[in-house]
Amino acid sequence: MSSAKLSIRIVLIFLKHVLRYQEFTFSIIRSLKYYNKKIRISVATLLKLEKDGMYLLINNIHRPEYYGPIGGVFKHLSNIPADLREIDWESDYTTRQEKRKDMENDLRGYIYGKHFASFLDWFVKREGRESEQCIFREIREEFREGNIGKLIRDKFTKLEIALCKKVIEGPFPVQSRDYHAQFRYFEIYEITDKSEPTTKVLNEMFERAGRGDNKLILASKQEIIQGRLECGDKLVAPHTNYFFDRKWHGNEPIKY
C-alpha cells in the first residue's frame, strides 16, 4: 500500500471512530503512531469500598505482598469471539510460560495499532464479554474460604452497584518489552445498595480489617498514594491510586 493511500486510510479510521467514541479520542490518536506495531491491552474493573475516609483493600492472591481493591480483568465469553479473531487478537494467556486457569479468557493481550479502533468497536458493544458481572465473579473467587467468605459470597453476588468512574490510559510507549505501547482501561464501581444485610456485611468486613485480618486491610488516601501503610510492612498496589486520579501508574498492570 502506498504511503498516500495509507495516510488516507488512517485519516478515515480516525474520523469514523472519533465521532463515534469521543471519550477515546486521544487513545485513538495515540494508537495511530503504532499502526504497524504491537500494543498491549488490559481492561479491568475495580470496586471502591470506603468508610470514614478509610478504604478496604484485599490481599492479592497472585502477588501476596500487595493489597488492592477487589477487582480484576474482564473476560471474553467462551472461545475467542469472531471480532477478536478478525483483528488478530493475541491473548496474554497463550504467551505465558506458566498458564493459570483463572487467567484463561482474560481481556489482556496484544493487537497492532491498526486494529485498535476495531477493538474499541467490539469492546463498547458489551457483547461477547463480561460487563459489571466481572466484579461479582471476582468476589466469588477472592472469598472462597471461611465463614466471612461464605457471608460475602452470599450477599455480595446480588449487590446493586453503579459505575462511578472510568480511567482511559494510553496507549503509552513502554521500554524493553516485545511490544511497543500499552493501553489500560478501568471501570470503577461503588456499592449503591443501602439495605440492612449489605450494610451489615460491609461493617463486618471493615471491622475485620481494622482488627488485623490477613486478608483485609484499611488504608487512608495518603497511605494509598505513598504505596504502603504507615505502620507495618503491608504494600498497597499502585493501581489503587486510580480511585483518586487518572494518572499513569507504572509500566505493567498488577496481576489480579
The residue ranges of every structural domain in the chain are 37-243
What is the pLDDT at residue 254?
38
Block residue for cell numbers 477472592:
142
Is the model's pLDDT at 86 over the cut of 90?
Answer: yes
Among 47-56, 150-159, 207-216, 244-253, the minimum mean pLDDT is found in 244-253
- Nearest Cα neighbor of 185 from 41, 83, 18 is 41
H or E element that contains 147 = helix 146-156
Q: What is the mean pLDDT of residues 156-174?
A: 87
Pairing type for strands 50-51 and 54-59 reads antiparallel
Q: What is the mean pLDDT of residues 127-145?
A: 83
The backbone torsions φ and ψ at residue 15, rounded to the nearest 5 degrees and listed phi first, read: -65, -45
The backbone torsions φ and ψ at residue 43, rounded to the nearest 5 degrees and listed phi first, read: -125, 130
Mean pLDDT of the chain: 83
C-alpha cell of 207? 471491622
* Encoded amino acid at 38, one letter: K
Task: State how far the Cα of 124 lies from the Cα of 196, in Å rounded to an integer.
Answer: 34
Any idea what the Cα angle at residue 136 is, between residues 135 and 141, rounded to 5°? 100
What is the pLDDT at residue 251?
45
* Encoded amino acid at 42, one letter: S
H or E element that contains 67 = strand 66-68
What is the pLDDT at residue 201?
85
Among 92-106, 115-129, 235-249, the minimum mean pLDDT is found in 92-106
